[in-house]
Structure 1
Amino acid sequence: MANLVIDNVKKRYGDTEILKGINISIAAGEFLILVGPSGCGKSTLMNSIAGLEEVSEGSILIADQDVTHSSPKDRDIAMVFQSYALYPNMTVAQNISFGLEMRKVPKEERDVEVERVAELLQINHLLNRKPAQLSGGQRQRVAMGRALARRPQLYLFDEPLSNLDAKLRVEMRTEIKKLHKKLGTTIVYVTHDQVEAMTLADRIAVMRDGEVQQLGTPQEIYDNPANLFVAGFMGSPAMNFIPATVVTGDDGAMLELATPNKTLLPFPKHESLQPYLGKSLLLGLRPEMITEPQAHKEGQKYVTTTAIEVEVTEPMGADTMVITRINNAEVNCRSNPAYPADAGSVINMMFDTSKAVVFNPTTGERVDV
């Protein structure tokens, strides 16, 4: 396992700049996820780390060794692709050991390594089968096994679960997380699925248009997004963005919502709102912070109960999404399924602004940092 340093990496195709100066430092044993929408540059960055793409500027160091211009075989990495890339004419055991065979590892050592990896991934019973006889999840395990058998310094995963169905994706996420905890390997993992990013990563780099918008732990990015893009991309359902007017209240600057009774919401960093008195900002509030009234929260400083009109409800089993509209913005609230909330009715909901954030609607940047 090794550390990885990406220093001001840029990638251009002609006049088009795909990567615009990426700076990321990854500690040995860390699990970093590159997440972002299609076309944001995350796969290009992954290929640059692997040596499949030549960078236009900047440098890449693995285990403190500059590998910027080294060929893929000299970087001591292993890559797992979304397409599995298994040899159809080989058995599972042969697929796993193929890379070792190419490196002239003796057969006895190869057999030991195949057994070790098969045990780790619980695919011992599949060793004599060929890829066509395997399910999607089993093929992905074999692809991972082939990478693990190499024992490289760095593992690269390029959207490895995107071809699996929803249930299998959840199962494989759990397996990958267990594997990382067990082996302590250094992993860089590309996905466009923010749930994968939140559940797997030690740190997440959120990318957009060839730039890192924010780098931090899953909780940091969820609770303290740097801008509207990060706030809207991370979280399911996404964060609510509610137009609110900054007004003067009893405890300093407050946020006024255009509800029927002009709801006033207190804000933890109220001093940061002072320059915006009389202006409109976007209040960022996660759906779970707008709930049915809860007795244990009554009287808390940043909790306000107000009436809203229910536009529609979406039962989700463990909870129900109650959707309303405030100042023409759709707002998702997360309530207990037992709480009566019929479409068209007016009900009380509790707004907890203790973890709220505020954005400038023009620039999209946080204003309460």
Structure 2
Amino acid sequence: MGSIQIQQLTKSFGDTQVLKGIDLDIKDGEFLILVGPSGCGKSTLMNSIAGLEEVTSGDILIDGANVTSLSPKERDIAMVFQSYALYPTMSVSRNISFGLEMRKVPKAQIEKTVAEVAQLLQIEHLLDRKPSQLSGGQRQRVAMGRALARSPRVFLFDEPLSNLDAKLRVEMRTEIKKLHKRLRTTIVYVTHDQVEAMTLADRIAVMKDGQVQQFGTPYEIYNNPANRFVADFMGSPPMNFLECVVLDDKLVIESQGQKFELQVAHGARLKSAGLETVILGIRPEMITEPKPYAEGALVHNIPMQVEVTEPMGPDTIAFGQWNGTEIQARLSPEAGVEAQTKGHINVQVDTSKAVLFDAYSGVRVDV
């Protein structure tokens, strides 16, 4: 119904190459999120799929048919924009039905479709209102309703929640996920918000400088990042990075004249792999206050100098230093209060899920 294959896609604006050989295989019914920092090319890729941008080279296939040279209306795609793009003089009902009217759909079918879409999005009570009478969340629902009414093969969402306040973003995120579960249609969704990406996606394409850095499930992206950029970009707060020297089967952190040894999984393979220096990546949730049940060679207790804490409710993020290196730890609320009061705390580092990166290329090292 709506599979998409993107093959060696490039796009240049003058001498500037914005997309550099993109390859993606999006399954029918999949929720794919394109995520990355501003200027990485994700919106250009979205517009290329929609037909709003003419590509420089490469192919776009939908359900196996090459649509690269087709106009937007010939691709059977519906797009939901960041700005809603509603007709201000039309009622909600007309905004939803207008596309169907232009396609000469019978009136009875239009009325049925509008009623079904309004019920699905819980906006039946808004059908007679104008966009100016709606809240931001309601306008976004109407924009989604207009797209749904067309029953396209593919939905494209271009940062649809960026104009909403924090609470409403969470609510709409949940609604979009529920909607996808009901419809199982193919969705390609652009965002710079990695929390949206992690919570919504079946698979994520992390982009940087016009290239896909990693393409995988949220679990794969978070736990097995392909390189340091992905590890740093995906995660809130981001991963800690510590430069280490390889010594036999251990890692040694040297800073300000002090040394500290850490054991990591499969550490014995590091030296045989010819590695001398690596970057140790460890998530803040693996640096916590000491737990009495946690023990073993991969659990280390270290002192942390605390500079700032951020209470988050169920936990507290502590920012500080260990051995002269900046780190972030995820503590319980009680430990967070202690850390803020004393300015230091003993923390426990669990390296069982630590990730190693090449110190020069930033590529993940598998040992």
Q: Normalising TM by the smaller chain, what interval?
A: over 0.9
Is the 2:35–2:207 contact (alpha carbons within 8 Å) kept by the matching residues of 1? Answer: yes
Deviations 1:82-129 (A, max 9, x none): 000000000000000011111100111000000000000000000000
Cα distance in 2 for residues equivalent to 1:272 and 1:150:
56
Alpha carbons of structure 1 residues 27 and 270: separation in structure 2 relative to 1, 3 Å = same
Contact 1:273 1:368 in 2 (8 A): no
Q: Which amino acid aligns with 2:15?
A: D
Residue matched to 1:293? 290
- Asked whether 1:179 is paired with 2:179, we answer yes
Q: 1:263–1:277: structure 2 CA closer, same or farther, 3 Å change rule?
A: farther
- Establish whether residue 255 from structure 1 lines up as the match of residue 251 from structure 2: yes
> Residue 43 and residue 267 in structure 1: after superposition, are their counterparts in 2 closer, same or farther (change >3 A)?
same
Q: 1:34 maps to which residue?
A: 34
Q: Trace 1:73-222 onto structure 2 (pairs within 5 A).
A: 73-222=73-222
Compared CA separation, residues 26 and 100, structure 1 to 2 (3 A) = same
For 1:307, the equivalent position in structure 2 comes to: 303
Residue 296 of structure 1 aligns to a residue whose secondary structure is coil
Q: Which residue of structure 2 lines up, in the alignment, with residue 323 of structure 1? A: 319
Indicate yes or no: 2:270 matched with 1:270.
Answer: no
The alignment status of 1:62 with 2:58, answered yes or no, reads no
The count of aligned residue pairs is: 364
Amino acid at match of 1:137: G
Question: Distance between the aligned counterparts of 1:106 and 1:197, measured in 2?
Answer: 39
Partners of 1:346 and 1:162 lie apart in 2 by: 38
> How far apart are 1:344 and its partner, in Å?
5.8
On the 8 A contact 1:42/1:207 being kept in 2, the answer is yes
CA separation of 1:313/1:47 partners in 2, compared to 1, >3 Å: closer, same or farther?
same
**Other-structure match for 1:338:** 334
Question: Is this contact kept in 1: 2:302–2:322, CA < 8 A?
Answer: no
> Pairwise mapping of residues 229-248 of structure 1 onto structure 2 (< 5 A)?
229-248=229-248
Q: Measure the CA separation in 2 of the matches of 1:74 and 1:116.
A: 25
Deviates more, 1:155-164 or 1:270-279: 270-279
Letter in 2 for 1:194: Q
Which string of whole-angstrom CA distances, capped at 9 and with x for unpartnered residues, describes residues 265-293 of structure 1? 21113244215778432110000000001
What is the CA-CA distance between 1:185 and the residue it aligns to? 0.6
Query: Deviations for 1:231-278, whole angstroms, at most 9, x for unmatched residues?
Result: 110000000111222222xxxx11223479743221113244215778
CA spacing shift, 1:278–1:43, aligned 2, 3 Å: closer
Secondary structure in 2 matching 1:310: strand
Seen in structure 2, the aligned counterparts of structure 1 residues 61 and 95 have a Cα distance that, compared at 3 Å, is same
Q: How far apart are 1:346 and its partner, in Å?
A: 3.9
Contact 1:3–1:28 under 8 Å retained in 2: yes
Give the partner amino acid of 1:201.
A
Specify the code of the residue in structure 2 equivalent to 1:330: E
Identity %: 63
2:360 alignment partner, SS class? coil
- Could you tell me which runs of 5 or more consecutive residues in structure 2 were left unpaired when the two chains were aligned: none
Which runs of 5 or more structure 1 residues have no equivalent in the other structure? Answer: none
Are the structure 2 counterparts of residues 271 and 70 from structure 1 closer, same or farther at C-alpha, using a change threshold of 3 Å? farther
TM-score, reference length from structure 1: 0.95
Q: Would the alpha carbon gap of residues 280 and 237 (structure 1) be closer, same or farther in structure 2, given more than 3 Å must change?
A: same
Q: What RMSD, in angstroms, separates the aligned Cα atoms of the two structures?
A: 1.7
Deviates more, 1:143-152 or 1:345-354: 345-354
Which digits, 9 at most, give the CA deviation of each residue in 1:214-239, with x for residues without a partner?
00000100001111111110000000
Q: Does structure 1 retain, via aligned residues, the 8 Å contact 2:194–2:234?
A: yes
Deviations 1:151-183 (A, max 9, x none): 000000001001111111110000000000011
Answer whether contact 1:263 1:306 (CA < 8 A) is retained: no
TM-score (norm 2): 0.95
Q: Relative to structure 1, is the Cα distance of residues 326 and 278 closer, same or farther in structure 2, using a 3 angstrom cutoff?
A: farther
